[in-house]
Amino acid sequence: MKLKDAAQKAKVNWAIEGDENLKFFHGVINKRRSQLAIHGAFVNGDWYTDPSMVKEAFLDHFTARFKQPSCGRLKLNMSFPNRLSSDQVGDLDKDISIDEIRKAVWDCGESKSPGPDDFTFEFFRRYWHFIGPHFCAAVNCFFDKGRFPRGSNSSFIALIPKVMDANGLKQGDPLAPSLFILVTESLHLSVTRAVNDG
């Protein structure tokens, strides 16, 4: 009970005197500084308190930790037996079909929200006959150019202005999570097809 009273009194004291440039404030800061100060270091089992020895011990430790590894990287001197055929490479490079994008949308949970716009995948499913072709064109445009179609970002940036004039996935677009899911699903389907084909 006494500890709770002492803690509460300390909080009241801090609320009254803590933010002012008073002796109490400087006392708290100096106490914290002395608690966080490094007073010594163990070096090979010996305790050193001399500041120059402590600095040297830290320098030696981190120099050894971050030095270049002495041995070179391992090299693989073998050919890889499992290589993709030219047909499989072509399959991975070709445009994603409307059916693949539609399947990716249908494979996502209905109530999952792709971002702060609150459009769930149920919305995309229900109105696919209206927005499906445009959605597929946006996904294919992203794959072709590595960025969203021109004009689509301006409305997203108005909702969440994280980065002005953003034009890529790395710049915080609200549609990025749903496109990431669709891209992942599409790649998964392509790789699965390549694995199944042998």
pLDDT tens digit sequence for 110-120: 776 555 556 77
pTM beyond 0.85: no
How many Å apart are CA 190 and CA 91, to the nearest integer? Answer: 7
pLDDT in tens, 38-95: 888 888 888 888 888 888 888 888 888 888 777 666 676 777 667 788 888 888 878 7
Sketch the domain layout of the chain as residue ranges: 9-57, 86-197
Q: Any idea which of 103-107, 126-130, 180-184 has the lowest mean pLDDT?
A: 180-184
Task: Name the token pair of 100.
Answer: 């693949």
Asked if 185 and 103 count as a contact pair (C-beta separation under 8 A), the reply is: yes
Looking at every residue in the chain, the average pLDDT score rounds to: 75
**Burial letters 41-69, b for 16+ CB under 10 A, else e:** beeeeeeeeeeeebeebeeeeeeeeeeee
